[in-house]
Amino acid sequence: MIKSRICDMLGIQYPVFQGGMAWVADASLASAVSNAGGLGLISSINAGAEAVRNEIRKCRELTDKPFGVNIMLQAPNADEIAQMVVEEGVKILTTGAGSPAKYMETWKAAGIKVIPVVASVALALKMQAAGADAVVAEGAESGGHVGELHTMALVPQVVDALDIPVIAAGGICDGRGAAAAFMLGAEAVQVGTRFLVAEECTVHQTYKEKVLKASDISTIVTGKTLGHPVRSIKTPFSKKFAKMEADPSTNPEEILAFGSGALRKAVQEGDPDGTYMAGECAGMVKKIEPAKAIVEDLILGAEAVISNFNLD
């Protein structure tokens, strides 16, 4: 069975993280992934700090296995969330979209394992020096907020630069992708898009249908001109957004207003004017199944690919 330093560090059976997807990753999904032996994560982008606190408490009722919280650092309430997770006794944190350096001392003092998501070697080194326990190296194949580099080039460069374990993310959604990530030196994988269609994932049915219907070319990156590139499923809404961005006469504030709240509308309402964030591997996600089946397919699939490898 594939095991790594990450499993011992976090007390998990399989080196599989579920992405801490904004508005999506709640107690239902996180507890299902943790109960399956992976690491479930609750997103801090939700209806406010108290709602996240409730999800943490709910998750504790649904699993006695380790789980974590993902903190999106660009959120206006990041400071409040950073404090709340300490109060709640959360033991594992991942962070995204920025540097968590200013919280590191408090979190380490509280005995929290801190795992920042990074999109470059420079930030990965900074995080290691600041006391991170591991990093998630996330390539631009992923859904949501993306960096510049892609998984195949990013992961080995981060692995070479660091001593702490690296978790690979971006474009991984089956055993083949997981095996490839392990070959690149990753000690765990983080998967988002495939968990969007887990039975325990509470997103609107329309969201699941969009993922299930996606092909290889179904995603688009918008928001580059705003300095906040986001990968989502192509829809008339996201194409209109891209057109507005490309038009130099559009006021950036108008573009922001166009996109604000759009992820929540997609997740909760299945609204056509929503942003359906998903990664490039959406085209490979073909069925709704329990989180446990997804976790097991990732690990057993990787083991099968590795043990049967033969180019003949």
Positions that interact with ligand TUI (CB under 6 A): 22, 45, 72, 96-99, 117-119, 123, 138, 144-145, 147, 228, 230, 263, 277
All residues at 6 or more sequence positions from 302 whose CB lies less than 8 Å from its CB, including other chains: 2, 175, 176, 178, 179, 182
Contact 298, 189 (CB under 8 A): yes
For the bound state, the minimum distance from the C-beta of residue 307 to ligand TUI, rounded and expressed in Å, comes to 32
Q: Which residue has the CB atom at the shortest distance from ligand TUI?
A: 144
Contact 165, 188 (CB under 8 A): yes
Q: Which is nearer to ligand TUI, 20 or 175 (CB)?
A: 20
Nearest CA-CA partner of 48 in 19, 83, 77? 77
For the bound state, the minimum distance from the C-beta of residue 302 to ligand TUI, rounded and expressed in Å, comes to 23
Q: Which is nearer to ligand TUI, 278 or 295 (CB)?
A: 278
Nearest CA-CA partner of 195 in 231, 222, 226, 169? 169
Coil, strand or helix at 279: coil
For the bound state, the minimum distance from the C-beta of residue 172 to ligand TUI, rounded and expressed in Å, comes to 14
For the bound state, the minimum distance from the C-beta of residue 273 to ligand TUI, rounded and expressed in Å, comes to 14
Report how far apart, in Å, the C-alpha atoms of 276 and of each of 10, 123, 144, 239, 269 are.
31, 28, 9, 12, 11
Q: Which is nearer to ligand TUI, 15 or 144 (CB)?
A: 144
Q: Which is nearer to ligand TUI, 78 or 97 (CB)?
A: 97
d(CA 302, CA 305): 5
d(CA 184, CA 142): 17
For the bound state, the minimum distance from the C-beta of residue 119 to ligand TUI, rounded and expressed in Å, comes to 4
For the bound state, the minimum distance from the C-beta of residue 311 to ligand TUI, rounded and expressed in Å, comes to 34
d(CA 89, CA 111): 9
Nearest CA-CA partner of 38 in 4, 88, 85, 71? 4
Q: Which is nearer to ligand TUI, 35 or 218 (CB)?
A: 218
Q: Which is nearer to ligand TUI, 99 or 225 (CB)?
A: 99
